[in-house]
Amino acid sequence: MKDNICKKKMALVEKLGVHIENKEKLAPVAARIISYIILTGKTGTTFEEMVTILCASKSTISTHLNHLQDLNKIEYFTKTGDRKKYFIVNKDSIIQHMDNLINEWHEVRELHKEIKGYKETINTQKTEDEADKFDLNFHNDYIKFIDGATASIEELRTKLTDKIFQI
| Spatial contact of 146 and 112, defined as CB atoms under 8 Å apart | yes
What topology does CATH give the domain 2-89? Answer: Arc Repressor Mutant, subunit A (1.10.10)
For residue 86, the cross-strand partners are 77
> What SS3 class is residue 89?
strand
**pLDDT averaged per 10 residues in sequence order, the chain, 167 residues:** 80 94 93 95 94 94 96 94 94 88 95 94 80 88 96 92 65
| Spatial contact of 55 and 28, defined as CB atoms under 8 Å apart | no
| Spatial contact of 105 and 150, defined as CB atoms under 8 Å apart | yes
For residue 85, the cross-strand partners are 78
CA atoms within 13 A on the CB side of 121: 6
Give CA–CA dist 153/99, Å, rounded. Answer: 9
- Under 8 Å CB-to-CB from 41, ≥6 apart: which residues? 88
Q: Give the pLDDT confidence score for residue 164 in this predicted structure.
A: 62
Task: Give the pTM.
Answer: 0.73
Give CA–CA dist 138/112, Å, rounded. Answer: 10
Q: Give the pLDDT confidence of 144-164 residue by residue, as tens digits.
A: 999 999 999 999 999 888 876
Give CA–CA dist 32/15, Å, rounded. Answer: 9
Give CA–CA dist 19/90, Å, rounded. Answer: 19
Q: Give the pLDDT confidence score for residue 167 in this predicted structure.
A: 45
